[in-house]
Structure 1
């Protein structure tokens, strides 16, 4: 990206600003050196400078041929024709006698005075330097100073996107077809405005891209830049914000002035919520820097002066905090939602990123897309990159399906921490905790299928049961929420049944937190409490001084007490459902836990097979296909030592 400055671009009618600054400071340095030379010029004489005592010794030794005596110096020539200079001592009144005794020719010389020109220059040089610096600063202020100049506080930091950074087109954007189509229309309008204007249509003033982080909002903006063929300025919302009041508004004005000179053009403001938050929400003076900047942006987008040919495209993942005046038609005419891609979109996104990776024949993007529900475009790009890094670490020439599966586990569950060392008791508790989650999930019809269960520490968890939906979900039903609550309680209940009340660990902390939050949302937001009815009892609000969001429960003291009672009832019911399942199938709980202790990681298919037959077949083991019964009261030794607990307990679901 290149800064736009018509008068300062190399080859654009003027020298480079950096070269101009170097020339100015070089001139000041030369002037200073000239002044020093003029000041010291009269004192710098040809010849070696010697001490006065050495000079007297040389006279006494007959080595001096001739001297000239001035009030401030003595110069002369030795017998060997070498010149010298020394500084006299005023109290030495016997020098002339010493010179006559040794037949040295001597004469007087006047004090050397500075020339009239040098004296005038020496007196006026400080004033000339002050005037020169003041003139330079005034000139910088008059022309704006440039975004990086000393006086460039009010200059816009918008940069023009060029093809040097790698051209991106709509062909590189996949999985968000509806959003792309709406923005393609803007590009077509810029290329052929008459096609729309002859029917009375007007070009949109702005488009707001709304979506979760990583869904491709900035990538869409870069694709517009690559397709439109018009100047494309990009800036972040935080670039407007300064601690000096008025600087942000000045930068907004300067940005639109640059855009007018290059119209028709597109201006992309990333993370506009940094400057576009609702006004009047703070505790301080409402006329602060951010609100002044927002007011200027509103006027420039749709005020008395029309900015024809300037299209503003902005991106945010916090549309709820934006000022309503910013979202009205005439400013942001379109709000384009950039969603999390569905399975078809994920497959297309994977195809785009896999073009850069050498793939093995067994790689199937459809299978990977089916196993990554909820992944954004950035998550999928990271998945492909992790798979490529794993293949390189394993010294492979191609990236196979195994690398993609391992990369998926790493992204979803975190990296394995096999260096941790756990005691047998800790491993046993972790195995029963995760087996409890898995067994309750198998007995809840509305629960998602199990993808993988492991007691290998990953990320911040000492064990994990990962469940994946069979298809993309856009809403959740009451029965699925109750199932999720029961599954969350499964680990805690398994510990209570197997180890007793006094040996229950803190490993269910994340499960309890998840269950409490889900139950609170069911009661206060989603109207799933029969006693409280379909009413909202909780709302989001900005935190102190706009920092983050907090929840506020609405209602009387009796209502809040009833809310707490209903939340407790939901969690207690889930605890009872999990208890009924695990007490009724305690033998299967032992089988599953002991299998996890032996194999450490089980897939969903292996867990299903184990629950149906009591046996587990693994054809890829070194001894060949086996049908190994798992069960009994003994605890098999795990193949590798791992685990110790900074977390203090086995982890949750």
Structure 2
């Protein structure tokens, strides 16, 4: 299809339609207004005769169905004659009234014909527009249920190319080969190679699957159809299959071309897993898609590219070679990839000289491409809110805290006891983390509520981690118990709060995975006792495999042993470092937020070199249990039943 072919101006079409409606209204008005009433009052015929008899009438015009005239006082009048009144002419002569006859008005032949044919014209017009709607491609017409909703993508402005895709080099190279095949097929076919029939993009949400598809559309130079998997499924059985057929018919007419199906898991789920009748609309749609992709009739020159973040739920027949010849994994970017992605998004933002993409990339492990784009946007919004002309490193740090920990909730009003408990809770996490060699270094600790947490200790790994070792898992268990243990040591058994609920949830989940999935229990051995099963009982989640009651009890006891062991290690660490626990808690009460460097300096030197004012002296934080007057930022907040965070 030629993209430059004129498609018609919708404004002209709308103008023509409204013009036709206006003309039809004029025709209706003219039908009922072919005869206009003359000026003058309408009087009864008896009054007219009486006026003639009293010599009050000057002249009249007598028509077959109407008499008009003028009185002697120049007033005009109209009346309807009584049939059979032959004495009227004699009466007019006797009283000297000038009179004349009036011919009957002949109707307009053209208007008469139009009036008679108007109903037929309206019926023909409605039928014509209904027929045009049926003939529309794309399924947008009133009767186009079975038409495909695939859109032909033509990006003349805002075009995306592979230069805009960063951090996923391997996935880009896989798809760039498809683009090169479309540009120069002889380069591959001379060695017997055939173009891949399909490519499946697999990756976590936000990693750039759709962006890669848009880049293919910008680079390929061939027609590019895009559709969502949910566009195939309707409540009417057979509609989805009809749309699949129509989509491939459109693609054949524009071959060679690329068809991109986003979120294909909406239509490509494993067959036979439904709770009701397996021969439902979705499965019929999937069957038709399988036949069209690789059936008896070959679809040469049509490349299917699909995207999903749930490849485990797709039907095996959809994944085999011949339909999707290759699966392209779009991973979470590493530190080098994050730096490249940040550089791409920072091109649109005026940056201050102190902005270092490498430093920001190091502090954002696990961020996807969408997360990094959101980070840059949040930094730009913060700079605009602060009336700055450039986006500085401070805005990126604040935006990173907002994205990772949530927005600050300074409007809350908390009592001094609640603030103190939160400070000791977070200090407990931090002290245990510092004394666990396998734990990640602390990036920041705060008692300012963010998101659903009253406080938070944020740890960042020194490098990207792709697997976790046993010692690090035990360290994470100990750190998660640090907040609860600190509350027990400082405030006593009866004053322990609900602030550790998220810590307990995390520790229990980690311990369960260690025992049932990762084989890290000496008593149970390296066996998998629990597996994820999509759609289990129609709700999704995980399911334990068939086990005896003794094995289930042993699993529960091993989980309990791991969590209790972490609680004991956290208790030993905090008891031996109780003076540092008080020191860090009082520093958090005074300054509310401490960086990792400040916490380490406080642990090493016993004081914090942060001035009260730009020219003020350094403050020394007391390690006693008394509350130190705060010289830092003021904080107000209310009690929150949500966890204090770890």
**TM-score, length-normalised on structure 1?**
0.89
Structure 2 unaligned residues grouped into runs of 5+: none
User: 2:234 — aligned with what?
Assistant: 242
Q: Which residue of 2 aligns with 1:392?
A: 384
**Counterpart position of 1:445:** 437
Cα deviation, 1:265-292, whole Å, max 9, x if unaligned, reads: 1111111112211122212232322222
**Distance (whole Å) between structure 2 residues aligned to residue 564 and residue 64 of structure 1:** 119
- Which position in structure 1 is the counterpart of 2:339? 347
Q: Contact (CA 8 Å) 1:75, 1:85: kept in 2 or not?
A: yes
Q: Does 1:294 align with 2:286?
A: yes
Could you say what secondary structure the match of 1:421 adopts? coil
Spell out the pairing of 1:252-271 with structure 2 (5 A cutoff). Answer: 252-271=244-263
Q: Deviations over 1:329-353 (max 9, x none)?
A: 0111110001011111111111212
- Summarize the alignment of residues 419-438 of structure 1 with structure 2, pairs less than 5 Å apart: 419-438=411-430
C-alpha displacement at 1:533, in angstroms?
2.6
User: Of residues 517, 521, 543 in structure 2, which corresponds to 1:525?
Assistant: 517
Q: Which residue of 2 aligns with 1:363?
A: 355
- Which residue of 187, 192, 204 corresponds with 2:184? 192
Contact residue 422 and residue 447 of structure 2 kept, 8 A: yes
Aligned 1:64-463 pairs, distance under 5 A:
65-68=59-62, 70=64, 73-76=66-69, 85=78, 104=97, 125-141=118-134, 143-144=135-136, 146-463=138-455
Change in Cα spacing, 1:270 to 1:163, as seen in structure 2 (3 Å) is: same
Separation of aligned partners in 2, 1:408 and 1:55: 97
Count of aligned residue pairs for this structure pair: 640
| Alignment partner, residue 466 of structure 1 | 458
Structure 1 residues 406-432: Cα deviation after superposition (integer angstroms, max 9, x where no partner) = 221111111112222211111101101
Within 1, Cα distance between the matches of 2:252 and 2:150? Answer: 13
- 1:642 is matched with 635
Distance in structure 1 (CA, Å) of the matches to 2:157 and 2:584? 54
CA distance in 1, matches of 2:101, 2:537: 84
Question: Residues 337-390 of structure 1, C-alpha deviation per residue, up to 9 Å, x if partnerless?
Answer: 010111111111112122222222222211111111111111111212222222
Higher mean displacement: 372-381 or 359-368? 359-368
Shift of 1:597: 0.4
| 2-structure distance, mates of 1:63, 1:415 | 93
Cα gap change, 1:360 to 1:144, in 2 (>3 Å): closer
* Mapped contact 1:422–1:641 kept (Cα < 8 A): no
Determine the C-alpha separation between the residues in 1 that align with 2:335 and 2:534.
35
Cα distance in 2 between the residues matched to 1:80 and 1:5? 79
- State the secondary structure of the residue aligned to 1:199: coil
Q: Which residue pairs with 1:569 in the alignment? A: 561
Q: Does 2:53 align with 1:62?
A: no
Q: CA deviation at 1:571?
A: 1.9
Moved more, 208-217 or 109-118: 109-118
Matched-pair contact (CA < 8 Å) for 2:422–2:455: yes
1:45 aligns with 2:36: yes
SS of match in other structure, 1:511: helix
- Aligned residues of 1:69 and 1:109 also touching (Cα < 8 A): yes
Q: 8 Å contact 1:418–1:641 — kept in the other structure?
A: no
- TM-score w.r.t. length of structure 2: 0.90
Cα displacement string for residues 208-229 of structure 1 (whole angstroms, at most 9, x for unaligned residues)? 1111111111111111122222
The yes-or-no answer on 1:610 pairing with 2:602 is: yes
- 1:110 Cα offset (Å): 9.7
Preserved CA contact (<8 Å) 2:339 2:358? yes
Whether contact under 8 Å (1:144, 1:151) holds in the other structure is no
- Corresponding residue number in structure 2 for 1:554: 545
Residue 89 of structure 1: CA displacement? 9.1
Q: RMSD of the alignment, in Å?
A: 3.3
Moved more, 578-587 or 105-114: 105-114
- What SS does the aligned partner of 2:559 have? helix
- Counterpart position of 2:586: 594
Whether the aligned pair in 1 keeps the contact of 2:27 and 2:115 (CA below 8 Å) is: no
Deviates more, 1:298-307 or 1:519-528: 519-528
Tell me whether 490-499 or 334-343 shows the greater mean CA deviation. 490-499
Tell me the alpha carbon deviations over residues 524-573 of structure 1, each in whole angstroms, 9 at most, x when there is no partner: 22222233332222233344896x52222222461333333332222222
Verify the 8 A CA contact 1:524 1:563 in the aligned structure 2: yes
Pairwise CA distance, 1:242: 2.2
Answer yes or no: is the 8 Å Cα contact 2:60–2:98 preserved in 1.
yes
For structure 1, which runs of at least 5 residues remain unmatched after alignment? none
Question: Is this contact kept in 1: 2:611–2:619, CA < 8 A?
Answer: no
Q: Give, in whole Å, the separation in 2 of the partners of 1:625 and 1:652.
A: 33
Distance in 2 (CA, whole Å) between partners of 1:533 and 1:520 is: 14
CA distance in 2, matches of 1:22, 1:255: 32
2: CA distance between counterparts of 1:61 and 1:413?
104
* Distance of aligned partners of 1:113 and 1:413 in 2 relative to their CA distance in 1, 3 Å threshold: same
User: Which segment drifts farther, 283-292 or 166-175?
Assistant: 283-292
- Cα gap change, 1:564 to 1:96, in 2 (>3 Å): farther
Residues 105 and 211 of structure 1: is their aligned pair in 2 closer, same or farther, counting only changes over 3 Å?
same
- Contact preservation (8 Å) 1:388, 1:403: yes
Distance 1:644 1:500 in 2: 24
* Aligned residues of 1:74 and 1:86 also touching (Cα < 8 A): yes
Given the alignment of the two structures, is residue 11 of structure 1 paired with residue 6 of structure 2, yes or no? Answer: yes
